[in-house]
Amino acid sequence: MLQLGQPAPDFELPNQDGKPVRLSDFRGQKVVIFAFPKANTMGCNAQACGFRDEFPTIETANAVVLGISADTPAELKAWKQAKKLPYDLLSDTERRVLAAWGAWGLSLLNVINLPLMMRSYWVIDENGLVADMQVGVSPTGSVNKALAALKVTSRAAS
């Protein structure tokens, strides 16, 4: 599981168009990554549209947004178009990155002992370090907390 202040592990995943995206492509910028269980569902719509609505604010903090789920690129593309999302959505169908980052697996509240997807967010600073994170967060909580972290890191960088 990731820890605050540690380097964020690099990854490469296809976006909604099937093009590879690497975390290291964004070195020198802040990156907000949010993990969501399933495209085009109620909570995921609230989370993704919250980041969409705050996208101009996020851009002013020299940050990019990436959404990640186990949905296929085709599912993500349809959802991105339907909700007019201005950022890339990444497909982790094998859940490798989601598991490595702590968003896929067993939860303390999981009484049936099956792995599950935990809505999460991470803020990565310009140097590739984990500046803020929460695994297991509400849809609006992920947006608000990520924005607060960006403002803190923005003030610290200036």
Task: List the beta bridge partners of residue 30.
Answer: 63
State yes or no: is 44 an active-site residue.
yes
21 alpha-carbon distance from chain centroid: 13
3-state SS, one letter per residue, for 52-68: HHCHHHHHHCCEEEEEE
3-state class of 157 per DSSP? helix
CA distance 138 to 62: 25
Among residues 21, 23, 35, 44, the one annotated as catalytic is: 44
**Residue 85 identity:** L
* Burial class of 45 by CB neighbour count within 10 A (0 to 12, 13 to 18, 19+): middle
Task: List the beta bridge partners of residue 68.
Answer: 35, 90
Active site residues: 44
